[in-house]
C-alpha cells in the first residue's frame, strides 16, 4: 500500500495545495484501510470538519484518483476508494452483514488460477474477484445476540 505520508508528498510535489479538506479525506481513507464509498467518507469527514460538503469530497477523491494516490474499486454493486496498492492487485472479501470489504492477497488465488488453467485450459479474470460472506466481527456479534436470547 502507498503510505499516507507518501500520498501527501505526491500531492505536494504535483503542486496541489494541502487544504484541510484534502488532508482530512486522505487521512480517513488511510486510517480505515479505505474501502469506503463517497458517502461514507463524507459522513466521517463531517465529524472532524463540519463545513465539509459532499461535492468537495467527490472532487477531492477524483483528484486523488487522477494523481494515482487513491484507487476506485468496484466491489459487488458498490464503488469503494482505497489507497493505491503499490504491489499491484489484491482481491476482496466482502461481508454481507456490514458491507465491510477486506483485502485478500493475490497469492490465495494463485492455486485456483493454476487449477483452472490446467484442468480446463481456462484463463480466469480474477481482477475483480470478490468473495462474499460474513466477517469475523459480524459472526461474533451474531453469536453474542444468540447467547443473550437463551
Which residue, 19 or 105, has its beta carbon nearer to Zn ion? Answer: 105
Instruction: Identify whether the C-beta of residue 72 lies closer than 8 Å to the C-beta of residue 85.
Output: no
For 76, the 3-state DSSP assignment is: coil
Q: How far is the CB of 88 from Zn ion (least distance, A)?
A: 12
Selection from 98, 56, 92 nearest residue 73 by Cα: 92
Q: Which residue is nearest to Zn ion (CB)?
A: 95
Q: Which stretch binds Zn ion (CB under 5 A): 4-12, 24-32, 101-109, 123-131?
A: 101-109
Q: Which stretch binds Zn ion (CB under 5 A): 19-27, 39-47, 61-69, 97-105?
A: 97-105
Selection from 48, 63, 79 nearest residue 7 by Cα: 63
- Residue of 95, 104, 126, 130 interacting with Zn ion (CB under 5 A): 95
Which residue stretches of the chain are H helix?
Answer: 4-13, 20-31, 38-48, 54-67, 107-120, 136-149
Q: Which stretch binds Zn ion (CB under 5 A): 2-10, 13-21, 39-47, 131-139?
A: 131-139
Residue 135 within binding range of Zn ion, rule CB under 5 A:
yes
Q: Which stretch binds Zn ion (CB under 5 A): 11-19, 95-103, 112-120, 124-132?
A: 95-103
Residue 67 within binding range of Zn ion, rule CB under 5 A:
no
Residue 103 within binding range of Zn ion, rule CB under 5 A:
yes
Q: Provide CB contacts within 8 A for 52, sequence distance 6+.
A: 21, 24, 42, 45, 46
Using a 10 angstrom Cβ sphere, with 0-12 exposed, 13-18 middle and 19 or more buried, the burial of residue 121 is exposed
Return residues touching Zn ion (CB under 5 A): 82, 95, 97-98, 100, 103, 135, 138
Amino acid at each position: 500500500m502507498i503510505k499516507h505520508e507518501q500520498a501527501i508528498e505526491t500531492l505536494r510535489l504535483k503542486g496541489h495545495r494541502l487544504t484541510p479538506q484534502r488532508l482530512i479525506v486522505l487521512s480517513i481513507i488511510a486510517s480505515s484501510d479505505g474501502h469506503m464509498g463517497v458517502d461514507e467518507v463524507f459522513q466521517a469527514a463531517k465529524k472532524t470538519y463540519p463545513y465539509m460538503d459532499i461535492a468537495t469530497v467527490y472532487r477531492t477523491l477524483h483528484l486523488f484518483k487522477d494523481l494515482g494516490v487513491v484507487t476506485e474499486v468496484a466491489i459487488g454493486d458498490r464503488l469503494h476508494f482505497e489507497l493505491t496498492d503499490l504491489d499491484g492487485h489484491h482481491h476482496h472479501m466482502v461481508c454481507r452483514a456490514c458491507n465491510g470489504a477486506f483485502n485478500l492477497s493475490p497469492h490465495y488465488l494463485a492455486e485456483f488460477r493454476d487449477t483452472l488453467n490446467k484442468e480446463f485450459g481456462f484463463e480466469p479474470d480474477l481482477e475483480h474477484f470478490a468473495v462474499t460472506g460474513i466477517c469475523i466481527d459480524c459472526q461474533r456479534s451474531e453469536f453474542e445476540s444468540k447467547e443473550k436470547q437463551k
